[in-house]
Amino acid sequence: MAENSTLGDSLRRHGVSRRGFLKFCTATASLMALPPSMVPAIAAALERARRPSVIWLSFQECTGCTESLTRSHSPSVESLIFDHISLDYHHTLQAAAGEAAEAAREAAMHENKGNYILVVDGSIPLGNPGYSTIAGISNLQMLEETAKDAAAIVAVGTCAAFGGLPQANPNPTGAVSVSDIIKDKPIINVSGCPPIPTVITGVLAHFLTFGAIPELDQYNRPKVFYGQSIHDRCYRRPFYDKGLFAETFDDEGAKAGWCLYKLGCKGPMTYNACATTKWNQGTSWPVESGHGCLGCSEPRFWDAGGFYNALSVPISDNSQTVAFAAAAGLVLGAAAAGLNYKTKDEAQKAHGTVTIDDLEKKS
């Protein structure tokens, strides 16, 4: 449960020196993708930061987001933050189950009314409440109930942020995003399938540090992480500009690390921090591993054409469209030709021979 001591107190109690605290602030700034010049401000804010209560709800999801988070560097500097937040409800991670778990949620909501952070992963089915329930409570009902007294909502993963895979055509469950339902609370979308773990913790760190939500883009995603496209930050971008592309996954171009645009990379339309933050403790990221970006942090990425088709290729089979249209064109063209032929033929039949006697207009 949340307590009233500040983070500064808490760290000092753990015997962390000022140097340690500064190092912690440096790491936090790096985590939040803020410039190092922000470190003094972060230090000042963290001194006063209080421990918030976090309730984590999982709806129509694959647990990939939770996996991403828990597989992140642990223990690490983030763990210091997680030591300092109070994860009061997370039905995958918590020890309590069933009624006890629900009781914990209700208690946390009650005690931290108006102050807790609600984290959601997974989309919410509107088709039939029975598609996804927790303890007999429909996702929609639980979300509305829990969101009511939250200070802010963090929608983790593309499902919660935009509807994600459950919403993919034909969207059998009527899946929607958190922001489709909750309109009166600040919502931070941390999209990705899954999101980069340090981005999840970075957002929580930001809220913890400054007690406010970070600057957001038009999709309510934190700009520090989603402000630039994969394409713009991609180390393979020079190859794109030079016109050097891998044609297959095992050709010389692919081995030389050329641009993966032709192999379906959706980097140009995708906004995320993969190119800088990278994955697995900064080891690598999809493009560096030789696979194009799927665009997973964008809405409806699942419906945006084949993963291995270039972004410029139409979503449906264009050669088929052209073939059908050409066949139709031949039929309609023949009809149009017939009409023109007939018009001209009639005009020729209606020809009145011109003689010198009818050169002048008689009127």
Partner 1 sequence: MSVFEQKGSEAVSNRVMPGMTHNTLPLLHEVRHALERLLRTGDSTIIDLRAIPFGPGDEERLLSLLGEGEVVATLDVLGRTTVRESRFSGVWIVDHYNSEAERIAFQLEVIEIPALLRAQTEDMNQSLDALDSVLNTETHGPE
Partner 2 sequence: MNEPMDFLIWTRGTAFDIAVTIFVIGVILRLFEILALGRKQNLAEPKGSEFGPGMKTILTRSIPDLGTFRRQPLTVVAGYMFHIGLLVSLIMFVPHIELFRATFGFSWPGLPTPIVDAAAVLAIVGLLAALWHRIMNPVMRKITTWEDWLVWTLTFLPILTGYLAYHRMVNPYPVILGLHILSVEALMIAFPFTKLMHTFTVFLSRWYNGAMSGRRGVES
Partner 3 sequence: MSEATLERGINALKEQIDAPVAAFFSSCVSCGMCAEACLFYTETGDPKYTPIYKLEPLRRVWESEYTLVGKIKKVLGLNKPVTDELLQEWQELLYDSCTLCARCSMICPVGNDIVYMVRKAREGMVASGNSPEGVQGAATRAVTIGSPMGVKLSALEAQIRHIEADSGLKIPMDVEGADYLALLSSMEIMNFPEYLEGLAKIFKQAGVSWTLCSTAFEATNSGIQIGSSDIARTLVQRIVDGAERLKVKNVISPECGHAYTAIRWEGPNLIGRRLPFRVIHILELLDELRAAGRIKTKDLETDCYTFHDPCSIARKGGIIEEPRRLMNMVTTNFVDMKEHGKMAWCCGGGGGVSSNEDADSLRIKAFKRKRDQIAETGADVLVTACANCRLVIEEGLEEYRIELPVVGLSELIADHLVVDEEPPETPE
Q: Which residues bind partner 1 (CB under 8 A)?
A: 16-20, 22-24, 26-27, 29-31, 33, 35-37, 73, 75-77, 233-236, 238-239, 244, 255-257, 275-277, 281-282, 288
What is the nearest approach in angstroms of partner 1 to the Cβ of residue 65? 22
What's the one-letter identity of residue 82? F
The upper half-sphere exposure of residue 70, i.e. CA atoms within 13 Å in the direction of its Cβ, equals: 10
Tokens coding 123: 């989309």
Interface residue with partner 3, options 99, 184, 241, 357 (CB under 8 A)? 357
261 near partner 2, rule: CB under 8 A: yes
Interface residue with partner 2, options 41, 217, 276, 307 (CB under 8 A)? 217
Tokens coding 144: 């509305």
Of partner 3, partner 1, partner 2, none, which one sits near residue 222, judging by CB under 5 to 8 A according to partner kind?
none
| Number of other CB atoms surrounding residue 104 within 10 Å | 19
CB 212 within 8 A of CB 178: no
CB 235 within 8 A of CB 265: no
312 near partner 2, rule: CB under 8 A: yes
Q: What sign does the dihedral 170-174-175-180 (CA atoms) show?
A: positive
Q: Which residues pair with 176 in a beta bridge?
A: 124
For residues 172 and 312, give the distance between their C-alpha atoms in angstroms, rounded to a whole number. 28
Chain residues 284-343 in contact with partner 3, contact rule CB under 8 A: 336, 339-340, 343
Phi-psi region of 212 (alpha: psi -120 to 50; beta: other; left: phi over 0): beta
314 or 333: CB nearest partner 3: 333
Of partner 3, partner 2, partner 1, none, which one sits near residue 27, judging by CB under 5 to 8 A according to partner kind?
partner 1
Residues that bind partner 2 (CB under 8 A): 162-163, 177, 179-180, 217-219, 229, 231-232, 240-243, 245, 261-262, 268-269, 271, 298-301, 303-305, 309-316, 318-319, 321-322, 324-326, 328-330, 332-334, 336-338, 340-341, 344
